[in-house]
């Protein structure tokens, strides 16, 4: 879900679940899919989808993923991407370990090979 002005930290779990339900229903309607169609594509029952959209059923993670996949909306999970950051000290250490010069090739290796 993109930055839409919600302060997710201040919202209760129930309020967040309601926003997810609204997103699912809105996206389903934008794609002109019936509840039957979406439920079938997500591998859940229409009754389950109806309960989720109305906020009457708790949504587990697997079901959410199935619904988002059926809505072609897995991109909303992009905010969960884990990125590793290197501390300035680790970066400095890596820079020190980098090769500064190339080693020269020994003269022996440059001699032409003899056919003898």
- pLDDT tens digit sequence for 57-116: 888 899 999 999 999 999 998 888 888 888 888 888 888 888 777 777 666 656 666 666
In contact, 77 and 68? CB cutoff 8 Å: yes
Cα angle 48-61-73, degrees, rounded to a multiple of 5:
85
CA distances from 5 to 9, 10, 31, 65, 70 (A): 12, 12, 24, 24, 26
Superfamily, domain 10-75: lambda repressor-like DNA-binding domains (1.10.260.40)
- Reported confidence tier of residue 1, pLDDT bands at 50, 70, 90: very low
Full-model pTM: 0.66
């Amino acid at each position: 879900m993109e930055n839409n002005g919600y302060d997710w930290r201040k919202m209760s779990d129930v309020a967040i679940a309601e926003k997810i339900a609204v997103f699912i229903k809105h996206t389903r309607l934008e794609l002109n899919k019936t509840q039957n169609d979406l439920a079938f594509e997500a591998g859940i029952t229409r009754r389950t989808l109806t309960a989720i959209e109305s906020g009457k059923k708790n949504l587990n993670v697997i079901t959410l993923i199935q619904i988002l996949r059926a809505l072609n909306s897995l991109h909303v999970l992009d905010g969960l991407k884990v990125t590793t950051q290197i501390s300035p000290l680790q970066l400095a250490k890596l820079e020190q370990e980098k090769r500064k010069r190339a080693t020269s090739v020994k003269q022996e290796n440059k001699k032409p090979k003899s056919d003898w």
